[in-house]
Structure 1
Amino acid sequence: MAPQDFGGRTLSNLSFPPTRAVGRGAAWYRGDCHVHSVHSDGELTPEELAVRGRAAGLDFMATTEHNSAAESGVWGHLAADDFLIILGEEVTTKTGRWLALGIKPGDVIDWNHQVRDGLIDQCLHQVHQVGGLCVAAHPHAPYPSGDFMFPFRGFDVVEVWNGLWTSDRPWNADNEAALAEWGRSLAADIHTGSWRPAMGNSDTHLEGQIGIPHTMVFAEELNTETILAGIRAGRSWIAESTDVEVTFTAHADGHVAGVGEQLTTHGRQVEVQAAVRGVPVGTVSFHTDRGKVHRASLPGDGAGVVAWDTTAEESMFVRIEVRHPNGDVAALTNPITLV
């Protein structure tokens, strides 16, 4: 990581956000880990982003200015006991973009490289050395360098849902392609023990975008280390807004597992349950290593519980997608693995 030029200022003169907030203890926390302010190519100030993030019901957000940490010192006073700000960077290379989350104050990850240079592993290692998280961002973004050409190997997470180019709809064909690509890789990746969780972020640049979508993360505390650990482990699901609530669990032989966890079934039948709120007349579909295996409708008020039975022999994992009547995704989860 190269030292950052702060225009004559030193790290001691800047105010960086603390890595811990009070939070609610072990709980589900809502966060948006891809936002831009006026300090890169966004239209909102850090103050405006923090205010709007909290108003949107977020518990945390990550600063991800393009190729720079030069202004990360302006965020310190915007954090609060109940609002965590994580330092990050959008590493904007010539052949794809990725998020470096949880980097240290003043750190900048080199972005002047591409697939042919063979430097990506070195850059990923720099982030991992400080406990950070590497996210393959919007793999099918519709602009030059937006398509993600690097292999996913070495990355911790894939951003399958990006809100920037969705206009009035929270979902588009580029996100559909990213979700399908990630979904197809899950069986082989889980089999080898190296699967990469999915996450969703707004990629906020303009007014009205923050939190659409965002990622719900289960963490032991509201701090940078535990939030990143929850994302890394796949203890997370993606929501288009705070209007949507999902509880997804699997039950067998008196044991229960949630999103991102493994359920030991002892050969018994597994009941998988999805409780959903906020998606009127939507549908819930269950997906395993055999593809889409079950689909059920939600009532008109959008609140309902859908159950489906399977076994570990039939299904290596189960995940769900919740969709609106027009087919747009409202929420999706990482898998529960069955053994």
Structure 2
Amino acid sequence: MTETSAGPGWYRGDCHVHSVYSDGALTPERLAADARALGLDFLATTEHNTAEAHAPWARLAAEDLLVVLGEEVTTDDGHWLALGLPQGRLIDWRHGVADGTLARRLREVTDAGGLAVAAHPHAPYPTGTLRFPLQAFDAVEVWNGLWSSDRPWNADNEAALADWTRALAEEVPRGRWRPAIGSSDTHLVDQLGIPHTVVRAGELTVEAILAGLRAGHSWIAGSTSVELTFTAGAAGRRADIGERLVVGAGHVTARAEVRGVPAGTVGFHTALGEAHRAALPATGAGAVTARIPPDGAEFVRVEVRHPSGAMAALGNPIALAPTAG
């Protein structure tokens, strides 16, 4: 909606937002104003089982704020996000694990050029816990902010992170893995953007943003004050978040540059677990580098945590390949 002329770059956006058109307390106008004040580049409207907000949101899109139309498909067996729907398009939510119709609903999203995201897999209420398999979706909402408005990270998110990491160890060697996203699931004031997803895209358009999310060229920020750059290199080659690095027989050099996390910690994780951890200075700005043996690693990803242990930033992995084949 109202796609902009902005070129290649990293764009910040909240992919899970509710307004008064379902069970949120704020109007689209207030949410759009808050997004601009925070410095977000895009928002996704994801009301529960309705497309009524599409038209009001479409009118609010402008050069400085991209709007992605979507829906939170809210079933008795869990919730999932349909992002990038045509205006007025509604995905039927009357399906469950037992009836075998999820695949048909997901195809509707794919055929429309959209992205299907497993939402808050461990949300602490009966219909919020996802019973559908994570492997059915394009991406996983590993970090959801709704149930942690007073705490930026909680046990439900920690459980989703553990599930996602285990899946990565199986999926990355096969060449197809499900990226992580983070969203506020905003319903009330002062929730927007906590957390949000930072996406590398060729331009600020719905198609480009969804492509970046689908490819895993993204990381999750606990707030707009947090900045992260994460790369890995080996044998003269370099890869960014979501990319594939051919490592050969040598070590992998992982590097994270962080701002906005005073006295935090940076951890590099592989399929074998945490490979390296280092502290950030009190200023919250610093760089951490580590040499990681590639044997059994399969991938490397980064976590940045506050001194309390709460997450501040979480990156999608860089896949590690032993050969160019």
Deviations 1:275-330 (A, max 9, x none): 11111111011100101111111111111110111243352110011111111000
Residue 321 of structure 1 pairs with residue 303 of structure 2: yes
Residue 336 of structure 1 pairs with residue 321 of structure 2: no
Matches within 5 A, 1:22-101: 22-23=5-6, 25-101=7-83
Question: Residues of 2 paired with 1:163 and 1:177: CA distance?
Answer: 14
Residue 21 of structure 1 pairs with residue 4 of structure 2: yes
Is the 2:135–2:178 contact (alpha carbons within 8 Å) kept by the matching residues of 1?
no
Report the CA distance between 1:35 and its aligned residue. Answer: 0.3
Question: Residues of 2 paired with 1:272 and 1:65: CA distance?
Answer: 39
Report the CA distance between 1:266 and its aligned residue. Answer: 3.5
Counterpart for residue 286 of structure 1: 268
Report the CA distance between 1:270 and its aligned residue. Answer: 2.0
* Corresponding residue to 1:199 among 175, 181, 197: 181
Give the TM-score, by structure 1 length. 0.93
Amino acid at match of 2:289: A
Counterpart for residue 217 of structure 1: 199
Amino acid at match of 1:140: H
Show structure 1 runs of 5+ residues with no match. Answer: 1-16
Counterpart for residue 120 of structure 1: 102
Question: Residues of 2 paired with 1:335 and 1:230: CA distance?
Answer: 14
Report the CA distance between 1:206 and its aligned residue. Answer: 0.3
Residue 136 of structure 1 pairs with residue 118 of structure 2: yes
Amino acid at match of 1:147: T
Residue 308 of structure 1 pairs with residue 304 of structure 2: no
Q: Please, what is the CA RMSD of the aligned residues?
A: 1.0
Is the 2:199–2:212 contact (alpha carbons within 8 Å) kept by the matching residues of 1?
yes
Question: Residues of 2 paired with 1:191 and 1:254: CA distance?
Answer: 22
Deviations 1:116-139 (A, max 9, x none): 111100000000001100000000
Matches within 5 A, 1:223-238: 223-238=205-220
Report the CA distance between 1:87 and its aligned residue. Answer: 0.2
Question: Residues of 2 paired with 1:167 and 1:188: CA distance?
Answer: 32
Report the CA distance between 1:105 and its aligned residue. Answer: 1.0
Counterpart for residue 13 of structure 1: none
Greater alpha carbon shift after TM alignment, 154-163 vs 265-274: 265-274
Amino acid at match of 2:55: G
Amino acid at match of 1:55: A
* Corresponding residue to 2:157 among 175, 183, 195: 175
Question: Residues of 2 paired with 1:76 and 1:165: CA distance?
Answer: 28
Give the TM-score, by structure 2 length. 0.97
**Count of paired positions:** 321
Show structure 2 runs of 5+ residues with no match. Answer: none
